[in-house]
Amino acid sequence: MTEIKPKKHYEILDGLRGVAAIIVVAFHIFEAFAGGNRFVQIINHGYLAVDFFFLLSGFVVAYAYDDRWGQLTQWEFYKRRLIRLQPMVIMGMIIGAAFYYFQASDILFPQIATMPVWKLILVMFIGFTLIPLTPSTEIRGWGEMHPLNGPAWSLFFEYIANILYALIFRRFSKKVMGIFVLLFAGMLINYTVFGPKGDVIGGWSLNLEQLNVGFTRLLYPFFAGVLLSRLGKLIHIKGAFWVCSLFITIILCVPRIGDENSLWMNGIYESVCIILLFPLIVSIGAGGEIKNPFSLKICKVLGDISYPIYITHYPLIYWFTVWVVDNKVSMENGYLQGIGVLLASIVLAYLCLKLYDEPVRRWLQNKFQKRKVSL
């Protein structure tokens, strides 16, 4: 059995994923003070980080696997993706269950106080599988498909993208892939510019409206990432990591464009970001080189905690949001606690990475992977 040799690792892309993940946490912290008003939310476009993650994922998956299907079965591909992603999905659900009863609120989550433990445990085990719950069966009241850990919705779609890639899209030529990517871009523009909200917020509920949002957010960036990897059109500039970090930070922090009477303006902004600017950032990041040891270490740390912080921070956000809403805490009076939540999320992610995720993945790789593939 031939060993599959590892490929070059894109440290800058790892670092950018970490930058975006930390911004997501900050976005959710500020969201607690926004009262559900997307027009006043600080770090207003932080949710676009998910679309950036999808594009990064498509790029990396295609880079790692496109030329290896002669040595790799579909089941081996699925095993590798499960080993990479699933352990932290399980940990995120466990943390969500552990914090659940601390999130009881007469205003936000009144049903938590009377929720039987057996139902919490059942939902936790269902969450381990990423099987989505319908709005009528979830146990929080926000209609989430994964009510213990809301951001797991994007992993649900990530798995769908990986299955579509392995079954169908990996077989397409660059020309055919390009046609599909253009069609998916059209879907995205139609929803953001001509749709009812002027943004891509959503995807976390199991109903037709939210599934439409989820697939719209998934299909273009993921398969645009695949196409970008195949085209190999990388951009080489000095200081690529710092330039791209600044670029992605600005994009995610830009205030809402337009108001309730001009939703299309924000839709155009988000379409440009997802369709043009995110591929540009990935192209620069993949084409850059890090020669400074400090920058390399920063990218390594950010890359290591990027996935753990994304998939474990939200139980803390539920708790923080309940505290803010129940006590009518203003941003001026709650920002220090918000900083504490951000720091706690980083520490929690690092502990999960070192004490759980890395050891579990090593064990699973030794037991179930017969060939080494660089991810």
Structure tokens at 365: 């790789």
Is the pLDDT reported for residue 375 higher than 50? Answer: no
CB 50 within 8 A of CB 306: no
Q: What mean pLDDT value characterizes the chain?
A: 95
**Three-class secondary structure of residue 289 per DSSP:** coil
- For residue 364, is it within any domain? no
Show the domain range for 313.
11-359
Which of 313, 315, 314, 328 lies closest to 107 in space, CA to CA?
328
- Tell me the average pLDDT across 212-216: 98
DSSP 89-106: HHHHHHHHHHHHGGG--S
Least confident of 119-133, 159-173, 360-374: 360-374
Average pLDDT over residues 189-193: 97
Q: In 260-280, which positions are buried (b, 16+ CB within 10 angstroms) versus exposed (e)?
A: eeebbebbebbbebbbebbbe
- Looking at the chain, the whole-number percentage of residues with pLDDT higher than 70 is 97
Q: Tell me, what's the pLDDT at 5?
A: 54
Rounded to whole angstroms, how far apart are CA atoms 331 and 41?
12
Q: What's the pLDDT at 370?
A: 61
Average pLDDT over residues 27-53: 95
Q: Would residue 70 count as lying in a domain?
A: yes
Establish if 6 belongs to a structural domain. no
Cα gap 252→48, rounded to integer Å: 7
* pLDDT value at residue 368: 86
* CA torsion angle 340 342 343 345 (round to 10): 120
* Total domain count, the chain: 1
Please indicate, yes or no, if residue 373 is contained in any of the structural domains.
no
Q: Whole-model pTM above 0.85?
A: yes
pLDDT of amino acid 93: 98
Cα 95 from chain centroid? 18
The answer as to whether 353 is a domain residue is yes
Residue 335 falls inside a structural domain: yes
pLDDT confidence band for 371 (50 / 70 / 90): low
pLDDT in tens, 235-258: 999 999 999 999 999 999 999 999
Assigned domain for 365 exists: no
Q: Is residue 3 part of a domain?
A: no
Q: What percent of the chain has pLDDT over 90?
A: 93
Query: Which alpha helices (H) appear in the chain, and where do they start and end?
Result: 11-34, 48-65, 74-100, 117-129, 152-167, 174-194, 208-231, 240-253, 263-272, 278-287, 293-312, 314-326, 331-352, 358-368
192-231 exposure pattern, b = at least 16 Cβ within 10 A, e = fewer: bbebeebbbbbbbbbeeebbebbbbbbbbbbbbbbbbbbe
